[in-house]
Amino acid sequence: MPSLLPLRKRAGQYRHSVVLQRGDAVTDPLGGRSQTWTEIVTTKAAIESEPAIKSELEAAVFYQVTLRYRSDVVTLLDAGTQIRVVGGGRTVKVLAMTNPEQRNIELILHCGDAVVE
């Protein structure tokens, strides 16, 4: 009887080295605000692209970045902290996350290919 559980990534599929960074707002002495990025962790991940059409004139590319479960990343995302993924030749913004079946084995970051400063 086939299993109803989704297939998890095998160790060899985590072949991309990625850096997860969190965005921090910084206020300068004159009251201006800018964003700096602080490294959270460097880890291995599987990256898959999922093209999707946003409108008739522009296309967006979305990515699934799958990594081993990290409670620190979940805590930051639950708190509304901006996180980006740098790796695989791209910098992408994390739009949402999935913890498959709440099993704390893998974490899937749903990312958008956007200009992230």
Q: Hey, where are the domains in the chain? A: 19-112
- Give pTM, 2 decimals: 0.77
DSSP labels, the chain: ----SPPPPPGGG--EEEEEEEEEEEE-TTS-EEEEEEEEEEEEEEEEEEEEE-SSS-EEEEEEEEEE--HHHHHHHHTT--EEEEETTEEEEEEEEE-GGG-SSEEEEEEE-----
Instruction: Give me the CATH topology for the region 19-112.
Output: Thrombin, subunit H (2.40.10)
pLDDT in tens, 35-94: 899 999 999 999 888 766 555 445 567 889 999 999 999 999 999 999 999 987 889 999
